[in-house]
């Protein structure tokens, strides 16, 4: 079974440009979430999608946006790039099901990430 | 606002030792708690998931416990090996997002 696939793996962009990152979840997973990881701030939540609907959004400016398609693949877009947007962007997918004892299982599986460098 | 803290920030031990990593959180209203490992420059590998009403989970040499009432989780690694060297992160699942600790950087010396 294929894992979470993120493309591209590495990206170099210039300030002011925009970028689109892609995430293909594990087959059957309908929840996709995005995280930004930097040395200074650690891992921070960007947004989460389930069946094409954004259910939650982190505290990031409007330059950061995302969407999810009917096949659960997701994209995130960053417009007007700033130097501070340089980071590892990680995508996670989750099946979300009620298992034994009606416990909600939301185990997240991560891709290898996209390393974005803004120069 | 949920906050997650991991102690210690870094740990260096000789091969073969048993060790404990700690994670604490401020709000007990969580769906689950998940432990991950991250190798330098890489993504995150899920190690263990503990659901909100469970007390512990085991996988091989790893055992994770959860005490929601006190807001604590521990990750126990038995008979550590050099290949266990990595950064270990805990994250609590709250309202469709994972909230992260800063991680514990673990070095196992051969």
User: DSSP labels for B7-31?
Assistant: E-SEEEEETT--EEEEEEES----S
Structure tokens that stand for A111 in this block: 């891709």
The reported pLDDT for the residue numbered B22 is: 97
Cβ separation B53–A50 shorter than 8 A: no
> Within an 8 Å CB–CB cutoff, is residue A21 touching chain B?
no
Q: In angstroms, how far is CA A103 from the centroid of its own chain? A: 25
Cβ separation A105–B49 shorter than 8 A: yes
Q: Kindly report, residue by residue over B8-24, the tens digit of the pLDDT.
A: 999 999 999 999 999 99
Residues 24-53 in A contacting B (C-alpha not used; CB under 8 Å): 31, 33, 35, 42-45, 48, 50
Q: How many CB atoms lie under 10 A from the CB of residue B22?
A: 15
Residue ranges in chain A whose pLDDT is less than 50: none
Spell out which residues of chain B touch residue A103, defining contact as CB-CB under 8 Å. Answer: 51-54
Q: Is the CB of residue A109 less than 8 Å from the CB of residue A92?
A: yes
Of the partner residues B34, B36, B98, the one whose CB lies closest to the CB of residue A45: B98
CA distance A25 to A91: 8
Q: Kindly report, residue by residue over B53-105, the tens digit of the pLDDT.
A: 889 999 999 999 999 999 999 999 999 999 999 999 999 987 778 999 999 99
Cβ separation A104–B51 shorter than 8 A: yes
CA distance B3 to B71: 10
CA distance B83 to B73: 23
DSSP A118: E
Q: In angstroms, how far is CA B75 from the centroid of its own chain? A: 5
Spell out which residues of chain B touch residue A58, defining contact as CB-CB under 8 Å. Answer: 97
SS3 A77: strand
Spell out which residues of chain A touch residue B41, defining contact as CB-CB under 8 Å. Answer: 115
Q: Is the CB of residue A33 less than 8 Å from the CB of residue A23?
A: no
Of the partner residues A44, A90, A106, the one whose CB lies closest to the CB of residue B43: A90
Q: How many CB atoms lie under 10 A from the CB of residue A18?
A: 11
The reported pLDDT for the residue numbered B41 is: 81
CA distance A10 to A114: 5
Q: Is the CB of residue A92 less than 8 Å from the CB of residue A23?
A: no
CA distance B56 to A79: 43
CA distance B52 to B68: 7
CA distance B21 to B76: 6
């Amino acid at each position: 079974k294929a894992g979470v696939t993120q493309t591209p793996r590495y990206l170099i962009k210039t300030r002011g440009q925009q970028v689109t990152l892609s995430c293909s979840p594990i087959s059957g997973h309908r929840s996709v979430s995005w995280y930004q990881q930097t040395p200074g701030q650690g891992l921070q939540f960007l947004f989460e999608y389930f069946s094409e609907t954004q259910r939650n959004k982190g505290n990031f400016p409007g330059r950061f946006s995302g969407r999810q398609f009917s096949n659960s693949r997701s994209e995130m877009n960053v417009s007007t790039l700033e130097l501070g947007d340089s980071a590892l962007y990680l995508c996670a997918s989750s099946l979300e099901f009620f298992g034994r004892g009606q416990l909600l299982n939301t185990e997240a599986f991560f891709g290898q990430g996209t390393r974005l460098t803004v120069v | 606002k949920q906050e997650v803290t991991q102690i210690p920030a870094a740990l260096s031990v000789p091969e073969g030792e048993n060790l404990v990593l700690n994670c604490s959180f401020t709000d007990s209203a969580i769906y689950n708690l998940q432990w991950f490992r991250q190798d330098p420059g890489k993504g995150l590998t899920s190690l263990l998931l503990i659901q909100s009403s469970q007390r512990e989970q085991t996988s091989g040499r790893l055992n994770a416990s959860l005490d929601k009432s006190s807001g604590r989780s521990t990750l126990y690694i038995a008979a550590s090996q050099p290949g266990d060297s990595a950064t270990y992160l805990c994250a609590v699942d709250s309202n469709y997002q994972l909230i992260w600790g800063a991680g514990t950087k673990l070095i196992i010396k051969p």
